[in-house]
Structure 1
């Protein structure tokens, strides 16, 4: 049996990952056993799993959430980009201190469990040369990006020492995300699609030509399952992978929305520049390649219209 703990199991990706693992029934060549969802508040119930409250800044809370015998740990929990920028100390306490606590608990298990850490394309920035990818020098321009870059180094080091079988995956921006907006600087990249699909007005703070790197929640979950199953010897000494995505402009997203839902949805988008948000967004990069991950079987979406359709199929509330 493969016992799994999902730290951040109350979030969008954590919940979808849990449902996918229950439906799949196996991981790493063995039946899935216990699936524990851990988060700062009690995660919404998912049939076939158990939920616990976990504060990752508290080592005792982390130890209680990751029981002996755990085989695979997904560490998805984080304070997101704009939140980490606005709340400097909180961002470092959770995104760095919390990651250290999760790694230390995994080490204490004494079994070198698989540990999948979700990093971010926010690690890229500054003067690093395009195209960017697994071996690019991290040069983050936000606190969130710095915290994720340090997390990657820790995963590599804990793996080098044999404490964990780690994998750090740099996630593209995940869109279209369901639910309520969060404090991520990229949140509008879902809301300008999600809200119009639900008949609501949304605000876009950048122009149609703004380029970014995207992946759907459905493909993200599929890739997270695949990355846990990659043999350690295949990964070698560099445990960092760029998760595949696709580069599209905001105009491409809006055109995809119109192609799927019609011009009425597009008319619900208001275009309002946000200089404060733009200062964060202008430090982000988009010429990103994921050749190594693609060779290992991870995939991007074929089109952004797929992303929109996945939201309608998987997440749009019933009328």
Structure 2
């Protein structure tokens, strides 16, 4: 006998995204900060792209990597928030099965790609500080382009098993996802099969892939700090270290929310579901908003260019 109030499915054509369960009555109010964050992220990252494109003096590896980060941020927040706002504003909860898997692929692949971009930025800072005379010959435009292509391929290839595994599971329990977007674990939990391999692969990505990126960044900055401390004067050491400030702040703005979301999801079993979902949204939305602000505030070249553009509009 089937259980009451339970519908059985066989690979449903659509999923139902509930939004934030328990806070349905506050969806419209929650959408206000979400919309402000998204708008700020769009304006900030598009501004970075336009400034770098229009100023030939910024056509350097550091700013090319910054453009890659801006594109990744735009893709990351745009892959989730439009659908989230549609749920909040229009109660548009249905999402096609293939669209759900596509959204899952883009979310996780761009997250991996963004982590790789931080590694590339660390390499750029390492070469610029530890071997400045060869910086322009080591990180040429073709080399930067190949690094960007490698990061895209890495993000896609690493996440493809995620998607293929999610595609093969039979979904025969329910098609209701208690989330605002198709987060991997939230989807595979609906499968009526042993999905431990998906869970193990998620742990592999978190601890090996992301952990390896953090290790490379730490190694780069260990060498950078050694080079900085060998400089003859305190002013020179401070000035050189300041050039790394934006990169370090951007890393902290990305990794801290991501690891906090991961830890609360894996081990915070006593945390309310709506808290999990809000944190999961924050780690995808807040870094794309903060990155252009960080680089705009801490990078003199971008400040000068932005003030020049604003001055021209004001005249």
TM range (shorter): under 0.3
Identify, as 1 or 2, the structure richer in helix.
Answer: 2
- Return the index of the structure with the highest Cα Rg: 2
TM normalised by structure 1 equals 0.26
Identify, as 1 or 2, the structure richer in strand.
Answer: 1
Higher relative contact order by CA 8 Å / sep ≥ 6: 1 or 2? 2
TM normalised by structure 2 equals 0.27
